[in-house]
Chains A and B, each alone.
Chain A
Amino acid sequence: MSLKSPLRRVTYLGSAKGGSGHWFAQRMSAVALVLLGLWLVAALATMGGASHANVVAWLSSPVAAAFAVLLVLVAAWHAVLGLQVVIEDYVGAKGQRLAVLIVVKFVFAVAAVIGVLAVLRIAFGVAA
């Protein structure tokens, strides 16, 4: 039996005065992801049957490389934002919630850097 009043339990630490940035970013990154996805699909569709060298040449053009880097970054960002929502919804214990969140963000940061480096290697001709 708690001696705290119900209102005290509800108001507790007060508002975080945040969350709208996350909400907005989730929507904007979704729009960006749709556009970048369309670009990727359109580009790949025109290259059906192209040789490895052709695809590498295409990806080393500044515009294609820039879009590819953006795609990697936006995809990772959007995934993190989405997973954060799921974690906050379903991981109840406070310490656990923060720990899972940090691990997820770390994993996606590493994945994003690997993705970007992979594109850059092609763009700068290291991999070719």
Chain B
Amino acid sequence: MPQFKLPENSRVQPGKTHPAPAGARDVRTFKVYRFDPDSGEKNEVDSTLTFRRSCREGICGSCAMNIDGVNTLACIKATSEIRGDVKIYPLPHMPVIKDLVPDLTNFYAQYASVKPWLQTRTPAPPDRERLQSKDDQEKIDRPSACILCACCSTSCPSYWWNSDRYLGPAALLAAYRWIIDTRDEATGERLDDLEDPFRLYRCHTIMNCAQACPKDLNPAKAIAEIKKMIAERQH
């Protein structure tokens, strides 16, 4: 449901400032969103700024946040790319656990709901892996590069308004990755599960997702392909 206003205890108010040490060179201002769940107010905690991070090389997807108005991975976003103050907020329109840590429970459950694993009835050959052609492998190469950072889904207006039912670009890209995997034998069931006015058809090809993806993936195109495949089996 569209929600255009933040709850009372989440409205942004002026907070603390930490001046640069005397004699520092290359000074930049960082403006960081703070949220303390216990006090219900930001800016009272100061000793620890809470955020997720792990790999520091853009591969774990933990450090996704909104920097300078764009969802991206903090670890690979260079300060030099930003002019003026560096404004940092948590991923948009998600419940905030603390500071820059959003609650991604629903996002992960949506990923799990598309059954992101190989489903087959034909047993695997006893002596080797399941084979697929080089061309077929290349089709899943890019979608497999998704690191589930949630930059795309949390940039998508349809996801903001209806994330209780719309699966969002990340989960749909994952679904697509298994739909086009030539080794998978559950393609029809996968399409059945997606064919839903809310799960899939909330996507209006606004393309925010492709714009936001730090791995240069294109969930919007994958979603369009899913819609085409569903149409194909009707005609």
Contact = CB atoms under 8 A, between A and B. Distances in A.
Interface of A: 5-7, 9-11, 14-24, 85, 88-90, 92-93
Contacts of B164: 9
Nearest to B171: A10
Interface string B107-143: 0111011000000000000000000000000000000
A19 B197 CA distance: 5
Contacts of B200: 19
Q: Which residue, of A14, A20, A21, A93, has the highest number of chain B Cβ atoms within 10 A?
A: A20
A119 to B, nearest CB: 32
B161 A92 contact: yes
A85 B204 contact: yes
Interface of B: 1-2, 105-106, 108-110, 112-113, 158, 161-162, 164, 167, 192-202, 204, 227, 230-231, 234
If over half of A's interface residues share one DSSP class (helix, strand or loop), that class is named, otherwise mixed; here it is: helix
A17 B192 contact: yes
A24 B201 contact: no
Given A6-B106, A23-B227, A90-B2, A16 B162 contact: no
Nearest to A93: B1
A15 B196 contact: yes
B234 A20 contact: yes
A23 B230 CA distance: 10
Given A6-B108, A20-B234, A22-B197, A88 B202 contact: yes
A17 B110 CA distance: 17
A9 B108 CA distance: 12
A19 B196 contact: yes
